[in-house]
A and B are shown apart, each in its own frame.
Chain A
Amino acid sequence: MTVDGVTVTSPLISVRDMRVTYGDRLVSHVPELDVYEGECVALVGESGSGKTSALLAILGLGDFSGATVTGTVLINGVNVVDAPQAQLRRVHGTAITLVSQSPQAALNPTMRLGRLAKLSLKQHGVRGHEANVRIADALARVVLPDEILKRYPHEVSGGQAQRFCIALAVALQVQCIAADEPTSALDVTVQAEILRLLDELRRERNMAMVLVSHDLALVSTLADRIVVMKDGAVVEVGSRDEVLHSPKSDYTRELLAAVPVLGVTS
């Protein structure tokens, strides 16, 4: 698209007036949010702020927990809020995929990882030799040995399971990773590895990322833009530097002040 002679890329994800409600209770409201290729947008906030509800709604999964979602979330031209199952499944395999907080819980415990990977690709029409090549390439990219495909989810470490989930996204060649607290169950050294990996994928493949986290320090190392949420509402949206260095809302200031910093005794 060209406006006044300047090329404007259209957003990968476009959210307008998205509301998640349980009965009469509004738990998450995002008035407007666009996510572009290669961009990392973070949703931060404390428990009950509505950040995870917002992420699930963006994935088109809001109604699975009994919530009602209204508004529009356009991903590749599909409004996932009211898309039929078949269409939604296509969006999940090609445009966006979820990387969750507990990778081991996300993987079927009765299947070896190799079978899981093949099934995921088959679901999206990738079979045979093509599937094997994609899986091998993805494992190499996240630096996991091939022999991990013979293991069951409980036979690998939390960090390896999370790498495997990311490898599935790489093998599916999705345009965006939706990551819900992807490292909060991991040790800090493993967390650093996963953060590096996600950042590299973003740079190499122009992958977008919607990152949900309660950890403002973590978010500040990865995100281009930060959305601060509280009690279901967006209280501030800005570039990383704006939010960190000149926050507009009192709540953002309170959050920033509460983060403990090594070497500074409060």
Chain B
Amino acid sequence: MTADLLRADGVTLSYAKRAVVHDVSLELPKGPTGVALVGESGSGKTTVARALLGMIEPTSGRVMFGEMDVSQFSRSERAEYRRTVQPVFQDGTEALDPRMTVGKALAEALSVSPDAHLRGAARASRVSELLDDVGLDGGIVDRLPHQISGGQRQRVCIARALAVRPKVLLLDEPTSALDVTVQAKILDLLRRLQHEHSLTYLLITHNLAIVESLCSYTAVMFAGRVVEQGPTREVLLSPSHPYTASLIAALPRMGGQIPTAVGRADVGFAESGCSFRMRCPIAIDACLASPELASIGGRHVSCFRANDVNGDPSIVNSKEVTP
């Protein structure tokens, strides 16, 4: 019925009765493709990703792996799902065992992969194939994580994720610890692997400028809710939600003006009605009620004034607040 690999279906997550993620629905189609989750710290993007990885169980709603509900899995089904969906984190120093050589780290991943039966020369050739895939030299197998550069460590993390032949890679800020020239190379690598291995990426990032190169679909989160989702080019180049517009206005542009600050980020969010209304430059009385995530063209937006924003990020300048 559906071609989705993985799907969040009305996922809500609460800690101590306090909902931190509200009714999020997100589809990860078969690769090569990518879905980005963007938004500020505390918006719930990592929590949604953890639910999709099966690391935490939703308080309500479901995570569907193909046609199956992840919470109903048997042990072996769960193992298969865990293999299919692999994470790559921000910091390779923390993700790798400091006492394990690169070769050992990859061998360990192979031992739980479909290639676990490989021995001797066949296993060594699979290891060199993985290193080759991420642009690393074979000589690196004897090195420990602290003996290699940050970019190389991130490549090792990607190779280790690929070792189990996954279909989905969760990329949680995969380049934010790296220098910009290294970031450009890792983005090139991720783009190539996405196509060569037909991978689906779930990218979590605060860096809107890297989203477009890996993800054709973007969901913007604010205060635990998706406020706008749709094709990346539409959402990021002609936003319909004032929060998306304010994120874009805040990006420093090469040689441009000082970026625009909209509202005050430290006023927090409203507990009832539209959660963004306290920071919103165009809020009206209607915003005391909660807007639904409604379909507008090819995207979904939860804003009573979406038609007024209508792709014009400069609307946020209409009531600029001095910092």
Contacts and interface: CB of A to CB of B under 8 A. Distances in A.
Interface in B235-255: 236-237, 246-255
Chain A interface helix/strand/loop/mixed:
helix
A260 B184 contact: yes
Contacts of B183: 258, 260
Given A159-B266, A189-B250, A195-B258, A46 B179 contact: yes
A187 B212 contact: no
Interface stretch (B74-82, B203-211, B296-304): B203-211
A194 B323 contact: yes
The interface centre, meaning the residue of A189, A191, A217, A256 with most chain B CB atoms within 10 A of its CB, is A189
B213 A193 contact: no
A240 interface: yes
B246 A189 contact: yes
A46 B151 CA distance: 13
A222 interface: yes
B259 interface: yes
B41 interface: yes
Contact of A262 (B181, B184, B236, B258): B236
B12 interface: no
B124 interface: no
A192 B213 contact: no
A187 B255 CA distance: 21
B256 A220 contact: yes
Given A189-B250, A263-B236, A143 B261 contact: no
A266 B258 contact: no
A222 B246 contact: no
Contacts of B266: 157, 159-160, 190
B195 interface: no
A261 interface: yes
Contacts of B212: 262-263, 265
B187 interface: yes
A150 B262 CA distance: 27
A190 B181 contact: no
Interface string B195-230: 000000000001111101100000000000000000
A257 B258 CA distance: 21
A260 B207 contact: yes
A265 B251 CA distance: 16
Given A188-B250, A216-B180, A218-B252, A260 B261 contact: no
Interface string A138-152: 000001000000000
Contacts of B265: 157, 159, 187, 189-190, 193
A70 to B, nearest CB: 28
A192 to B, nearest CB: 4
Contacts of A200: 323
B247 A189 contact: yes
B261 A262 contact: no
Contacts of A199: 258
A169 to B, nearest CB: 16
B209 A260 contact: yes
Contacts of B86: none
B252 A195 contact: yes
B187 A260 contact: yes
B179 A221 contact: no
Contacts of A192: 249-250, 252, 258-262, 323
A167 to B, nearest CB: 13
Contact of A265 (B213, B250, B252, B322): B213
Contacts of A255: 180-181
A215 B264 CA distance: 23
B40 A189 contact: yes
Contact of B261 (A189, A220, A244): A189
A194 B246 CA distance: 15
Contacts of A244: 254-255
B252 A217 contact: yes
Contact of B213 (A197, A241, A260): A260
A8 interface: no
A48 B225 CA distance: 39
A115 B322 CA distance: 28
Nearest to B208: A262
Given A159-B265, A263-B212, A216 B254 contact: yes
A9 interface: no
Contacts of A195: 252, 258-259
Nearest to A243: B255
A218 B252 CA distance: 5
Contact of B40 (A187, A217, A259): A187
Interface string B166-208: 0000000000000111111001000000000000000000111
A259 B256 CA distance: 14
Kindly list the 3 A-B residue pairs having the minimum CB-CB distance in the complex, ordered from nearest. A193-B323, A46-B179, A260-B209
Interface of B: 40-41, 150, 179-184, 187, 206-210, 212-213, 236-237, 246-262, 264-266, 322-323
8 contacts: A143-B323, A189-B250, A196-B259, A200-B323, A220-B252, A220-B253, A258-B183, A262-B248
